[in-house]
A = this chain, B = another copy of it.
Amino acid sequence: MAATIRDIKEQTGLSLATISKYLNGGNVLPENRVKIEAAIKELHYEVNEIARGLVTNRTRTVGVLVYSVESIFIGTLLRHISNSLRKAGYGLMICDSGDDPGIEAENVSFLLNKKVDGIIVIPVSIKTDSLEMARKAKVPVVLLDRPSQDAEFDCVRIDNRRAAYQAVKFLLENGHEKIGVICSHTEYTGKERYMGYKEALEEAGCALRDEYCAAGTHSIEFGFEGMSRLLSLEDRPTAVFMTNYEVALGAVMALNKTRIHCPEDISLMGFDDLIMSHVIHPRLHMVVQPMKEMGEKAVELLLQRIGSREEQMAMEIVMGTRISEGDSVARVEG
């Protein structure tokens, strides 16, 4: 059996209270501090977090609820979240919702049952009914990547619409007028990014052509299909905006199946700088979100909420994005 605080008591002759106080960073006479530290070392003592949790009602564990653990985007975010949490001594309990709001709700209740101190969620949708239980239980929740419809929860995200707007504007500034888009019309980020695309075109007085918009899901499959569709058009676009990482992967594969070259024949603008970017030639121009900072901020905000007793107003942290330039956008003459 592992050593307990009681063994330390025997070893040092001090009382439980004193030892506990030391363990929690309280002030203890130097000589006692030395004794305790020696005993801890000798007995390989480590605090039993479970017992501590029972009395403090804190488990030093946070739940992380993601819409799909298979997504590369999520994987990257997860790495940063996990690192930050570890640094703070917190563990993370992961739940995969499999893109299903019903499972998401079940997972919330599971996590509450596990008595997590807080929950970071990358939600399936902006309808966040599934999170009501957490609110009732007064367990802090921080949304990541996607906000809730009514801004009732803290959220860390980017301004998807503006990011897309800037990306398309970049294409416009390079003389492109026939700009296609491959996006998702089933998810929040995809829809927002489409709106940004639309606004940029409208502002520039460009006609919005239905056939230039390939709307499906944020998946490699659809990226492939969408790009194939755009390329087969009689009057095909001179530039294409791909609204997420998976879409861009599939789209580039589709392009590579053809004789059409980037950037000579067609310009490309992607979203999210993940592993692929080091592989694709030419290097893609793309919108970059600060993944690391987003993960860290979400953790920071959550821990802050966990730390403060009183409830506060929900807040949104909107991170900036930038366009990383590659070699995939050509200048065309109007």
The interface centre, meaning the residue of A47, A70, A93, A115 with most chain B CB atoms within 10 A of its CB, is A70
Partner of A252, one of B92, B224, B253: B253
CA of A82 to CA of B66, assembled, Å: 12
Interface size in chain A (residues, C-beta < 8 A):
55
Tell whether, in the assembled complex, residue A75 and residue B82 are in contact, meaning their CB atoms are under 8 Å apart: no
Tell whether, in the assembled complex, residue A50 and residue B59 are in contact, meaning their CB atoms are under 8 Å apart: yes
Number of this chain's copies in the complex: 2
Shortest beta-carbon distance, A95 to chain B, in Å?
7
CA of A86 to CA of B109, assembled, Å: 12
Partner of A279, one of B75, B224, B275, B280: B224
Summarize A's interface: helix, strand, loop or mixed: helix
- Residues 56 to 86 of chain A near chain B (Cβ within 8 Å): 59, 61, 68-72, 74-76, 78-79, 82-83, 86
> Counting CB contacts under 8 A, is A326 at the interface?
no
Tell whether, in the assembled complex, residue B61 and residue A114 are in contact, meaning their CB atoms are under 8 Å apart: yes
A positions within 8 Å CB-CB of B? 2, 46-51, 53-54, 59, 61, 68-72, 74-76, 78-79, 82-83, 86, 91-96, 98, 110-111, 113-115, 137, 219-221, 223-224, 246, 249-250, 252-253, 256-257, 275-276, 278-281
